[in-house]
Amino acid sequence: MDASRSVVVVGAGVAGTSTALYLARAGFSVTVLDPLGPAGGTSFGNAGLLSANTVVPIALPGMLRKVPGWLADPTGPVTVRAAYLPRAAGWLWRWVQAGRLDRVQAISDAMAKLHAPAFDCWKELLGDSLYRDLIRQTGQVQVWEGKGESTSAAVERSLRERHGIKAEVLGADDLRQLFPGIARTITRGLLVPGNGHTVSPARLVRTLAELLLAEGGAIVPEKALKLIPREGGGWTVMTNVANRHAAHVVVAGGAWSRALLDPLRIRVPLETERGYHAALPSPSVEPRLPILQKSRGFGLTPMEDGLRIAGTVEIAGLDAAPDEGRARILLDHARALFPGLDGGEPRLWLGFRPSTPDSLPILGPAGARPGLHLCLGHGHFGMTGGPPSGRLVARMIAGDAPQIDAAPYAASRFA
C-alpha cells in the first residue's frame, strides 16, 4: 500500500465510520481508533431522526430573551448549569449571534445542501438490502400544544419555503387519526414527508463498521492521546498503547475532539449540548412514524427495541454526572402526549451532542499543517449530516472535487 494513502480516523461514531468507509472505497488504507468501539458515544442513543428535509438551524432570532429562563428552570427543554456558565459563555454568545436573521438564512442554505443527499448517502454506504432493513423513509410529524404559534414559527416556515420543502399542515382530527390516543391538548401538526428515521442508530453505525472491516479497514480499541506532526510529512497518533503513523488523520471524535486539537492550537468553538433519552422496551403506544413535540422539545421514535423518547439540551460540559431527572422528565412529557403510556422499565441514557454555535459541522482541513482533517460538530443532526459529511471529507482527502461547495463548513469561518 502506498504510504501516502494511509489514514487514521479518530472516533467510530457516525461521522468517523462514514468517513472511513468512503475513504476505504476510494482506495485508502484506513484504521479507526475508538476505545468505546463503534457507536459507543452519542451515535448510540440519539432519536434516530434522518432529516434530509430539515433546514432550520437551532439558534433562531429572539433566543437571547430566553437565556434567563434557561438558567432559572432546571426542568425546561434547555438548561444551563450555573457553575458551567463561565466556561460556556463565549460559545453561547456566538450561538446567539448565529441566530440573527441574515446569518440564519445563510446557515439554512448550507444545512439544506448538506442534508439533502442524506438518504442517498446512507443507501450508497449500506446497499439496498441493509438500507431497507435499517431505514424508514416514512416522514416525520411535528406537533404543538395550544393555539398560538411559537415566535419562531414564521421563520421556520419561510426557511422551508425558501428550500421548497414539502410540508402538510395537520389539524386535531388528522392527528387523532394518524396517532390514536394522542392527547387533546395537541392541536396542530406538520407532516414533513421527505424525512425519516432509523430503527436503530447503534445498529446502523455498527453496520457501517462491519462493512468497513469487510472491505479491508481496521478498527482498534485505542484512545488517541496526542497528534504529532512528523518531520517530512504525515502524522503520528500517540495512543494509550501504540504510535500509529499515517499520511492523513481525520479527527471525528465528536464532543471530545477539542482535547486533540487544543494542544495544536487549533481552536474550534465546540461545546457539548448534552441530551437524554428514556427508552420503553414494551410500549403500550407504537406510533407509525416519529413525532417531534415542538412545544416541549423532544422526539418520540418507534425503534426496533421499543419506543425512544429523546431530547432536551443541558449545557454542563463533558464531565458532570448525568442528571437522570432530566431523562425522567422526558417520560412525563411523553405521557402528556399519550396519556396512559406505559412500557416496562425505561432505559435512561445521556449523550453528548458535539455542537458548533451555527449548527453546521466543521469539515475539511484543520489549518496550515497538511494531512490533518476535521469531521466533527454535527450537533443535533449527526445521523443526518454524518454520511454526506463523510463523503465530502473523503473526496477532499482524495483530491477529488467535492459535490457541494465546502466553504460554509470550513474551520476558518470561525477565525
Residue ranges that bind ligand FAD, judged by CB under 6 A: 10-16, 33-36, 40-43, 46-49, 223-224, 252-254, 256, 260, 275-277, 299, 310-311, 351, 353-354, 376, 378-384, 386
In sequence order, what DSSP letters do the residues of 67-131 get, joined into one string?
HHHHHH-TTSSEEE-GGGHHHHHHHHHHHHHHTSHHHHHHHHHHHHHHHTTHHHHHHHHH-HHHH
Are the C-beta atoms of residues 84 and 316 closer than 8 Å to each other? Answer: yes
Nearest-approach distance from CB 124 to ligand FAD, in angstroms: 17
Estimate the share of the chain in helix, then strand, then coil, as percent rounded to the nearest 5. Answer: 35, 25, 35
Q: Least distance from C-beta 341 to ligand FAD, angstroms?
A: 19
| Residue 265 region by backbone torsions, left for phi larger than 0, else alpha for psi between -120 and 50, else beta | left
**Residue 351 CB, nearest distance to ligand FAD (Å)?**
3
- Report the residue number, 311 or 408, with the smaller CB distance to ligand FAD: 311
Cβ–Cβ under 8 Å, residues 203 and 134: yes
Give min distance, CB of 149 to ligand FAD, in A. Answer: 23
**SS3 state at 296:** coil
**What's the grid cell of residue 84?**
458551567
The residue among 172 and 411 lying less far from ligand FAD, judged by its C-beta, is 411
Could you give the CA distance from residue 13 to residue 251 in angstroms, rounded to a whole number?
Answer: 11
- Nearer to ligand FAD by Cβ, of 397 and 401: the residue is 397
**Using CA atoms in the order 291, 192, 182, 323, what is the torsion angle rounded to 10 degrees?**
20
Rounded least distance, CB 361 to ligand FAD, Å: 8
Distance, CA of 118 to chain centre:
12
By C-beta, is 15 or 341 nearer to ligand FAD? 15
Among 382, 411, 107, 93, which Cα is nearest to 268's?
411
Q: Which is nearer to ligand FAD, 4 or 19 (CB)?
A: 19
CB of 220 or CB of 404, closer to ligand FAD: 220
Closer residue to ligand FAD, CB minimum distance, 224 or 334:
224
CA distance 67 to 91: 13
CB of 16 to ligand FAD, least distance (A): 5
Instruction: Give least dist CB 251 to ligand FAD, A.
Output: 8
Choice between 38 and 365, CB closer to ligand FAD: 38
Task: Report residue 361 as a C-alpha cell.
Answer: 459541522
Q: How far is the CB of 390 from ligand FAD (least distance, A)?
A: 10
State the nearest-atom distance from the C-beta of 381 to ligand FAD, in Å: 4
**Gap between the Cα atoms of 316 and 314, Å rounded:** 6
Grid cell of 146 as nine digits:
395550544
C-alpha Rg value of the chain to the nearest Å:
21
The least distance separating ligand FAD from the CB of residue 324, rounded to whole angstroms, comes to 14
Cα angle: 197, vertex 333, 349; to 5 degrees: 60
Kind plus residue range of the DSSP H or E element containing 159: helix 153-162
- Among residues 35 and 180, whose Cβ is nearest to ligand FAD? 35
Q: Which is nearer to ligand FAD, 35 or 181 (CB)?
A: 35
DSSP 327: H
